[in-house]
Structure 1
C-alpha cells in the first residue's frame, strides 16, 4: 500500500556526477532554520512510502540493470521495477536496522512523526551509510515542519544514493514550495529521466509548465 507525507529533497556538493548539485546552490535561509519553519500550504507534496509487501518482490537483478530497464520500460513494467528498486534500497543488510526502518515507517503511517524520527535517528546513528534511513527521516522531519533537518538528510541520502528518484522528487517539491520554480522543474525533469512514469513528478511538471514556458518566451 502507499501512504502520503510531505515531501523533500536535497543535493550534495561533493559529487560532480550528480546532475542535481546545480539545483541547490542557495536555498533561502528560512529553509535551513528548523526553529522557524515556513508555512507549506502549496503545492500539495507527497512521499510514497514503499509497500509493506514489497519484501516479497524477488531481487533477481542488480540496481544498475533495474535502473536501465526502468528508463526503457512501459508503464506497467515501471511499476514492477519500482517495487523491486524500493525493496532493494530498503535492505540495510542488518535485521535489526531493517526493523528500525519498519518501525519508522509504521509510525509515519499513523502520522506520528515524533516516534518516526526517534526510530529513524537510531537507524542513521547505527547505519550511517544506509541511504534509505536518511530518506525516510527526511520525510518524518518534513512532516514535523522541520525543513532544515529534512534538507540535510536529503543531502546525505542523495550522496549515498544519487539515483533515488523519490528523493530527487522531494527536492523538486521543496523548491517548488519555496517558489523556485525553475529549479523545481529541473528536479522533476531529472526524476523523469530515471523513472519516466513517476506520477508525482509528471504532475509537478504539468503544474509548473505555464510558468516555465512563460519565462522562456
Structure 2
C-alpha cells in the first residue's frame, strides 16, 4: 500500500507540474482568441491597438533565449542583414518549431532574398500553426502577387481584410491586384 501511495503522489505531482506548464499557454491563447474576435468589429484606432496587442502575443515564445533569437532576427531584417536574419531565425525554428512568428519572420527574410520557394514553405508552416496570422496571410498575398498569381493574391488579401479590416496596407493591395485582374473590384 505504501509503494502505491508514493507512486500516486509522484503521478499527481507530475500531473500538476504538467498542468502548470499548460495554464500560461491556455491563458495566452484565450487572450489571443479574444483579441482576434474583437478585431473585425473594431473602429480604426481601436483596431490598431488590438493589432499591436495581437502582434505582441504572437512574438512571445515563452522562452527568453528564443525571444532573443527572434529579436536578433527581426533586427537583422531591419538592418538589411538577411543572411544573419536567416541564421538567427533558422536556429529559432530548429529550437522552437511550434513558434509561428519564427517561421513568419524567416519567410520575410527569404522573400527579401528573392528565395520565394523557401519563403512560401515557411509561410505554410506559420499558417499551419496560426491560421489567423493576418501578417503571414498578407505576406502570402504579396508573394503571390510578385509571382503573377493575381487571383490567389486577391483571395489572400480578402482573407486578411476579413480578419483585420483596418490593416494598413490590405485595401490598397487588394485594389491593386483587382486592377491587374482587369477590374476595379472583383
Q: Which residue of 2 aligns with 1:127?
A: 96
Q: Which of 147, 160, 181 in structure 1 is aligned with 2:150?
A: 181
Q: For 2:122 and 2:185, how far apart are their aligned partners in 1?
A: 33
Larger Rg: 2
**Does 1:208 pair with 2:177?**
yes
**Does 1:72 pair with 2:41?**
yes
TM-score between both structures, scaled by the size of structure 1:
0.69
Q: For 1:208 and 1:98, how far apart are their aligned partners in 2?
A: 35
Residues 98-157 of structure 1 deviation map (CA, whole Å, 9 limit, x = unaligned): 000000011111100000011001100000100100000011111122111111111000
Moved more, 202-211 or 188-197: 202-211
SS in 1 for 2:169: helix
Greater percentage in helix:
2
Residues 103 and 193 of structure 1: CA distance in aligned 2, closer, same or farther (over 3 Å)? same
Structure number with higher relative contact order (C-alpha < 8 Å, ≥ 6 residues apart): 1
**Does 1:195 pair with 2:164?**
yes
Matches within 5 A, 1:53-132: 62-132=31-101
Unpaired runs of 5+ residues, structure 1, are: 1-58
Q: Which residue of 2 aligns with 1:14?
A: none
Q: For 2:183 and 2:175, how far apart are their aligned partners in 1?
A: 13
Q: For 2:64 and 2:144, how far apart are their aligned partners in 1?
A: 35
Deviation at 1:214, TM superposition (A): 3.6
- Corresponding residue pairs, total: 158
Q: For 1:114 and 1:211, how far apart are their aligned partners in 2?
A: 33
TM-score between both structures, scaled by the size of structure 2:
0.80
Q: For 2:144 and 2:32, how far apart are their aligned partners in 1?
A: 28
Residues 112 and 214 of structure 1: CA distance in aligned 2, closer, same or farther (over 3 Å)? same
2:111 and 2:143 in contact (8 A); partners too: no
Q: For 1:123 and 1:153, how far apart are their aligned partners in 2?
A: 13
SS in 1 for 2:126: helix
Q: For 1:157 and 1:195, how far apart are their aligned partners in 2?
A: 18
Could you say what the CA RMSD is over the residues aligned between the two structures, in angstroms?
1.8
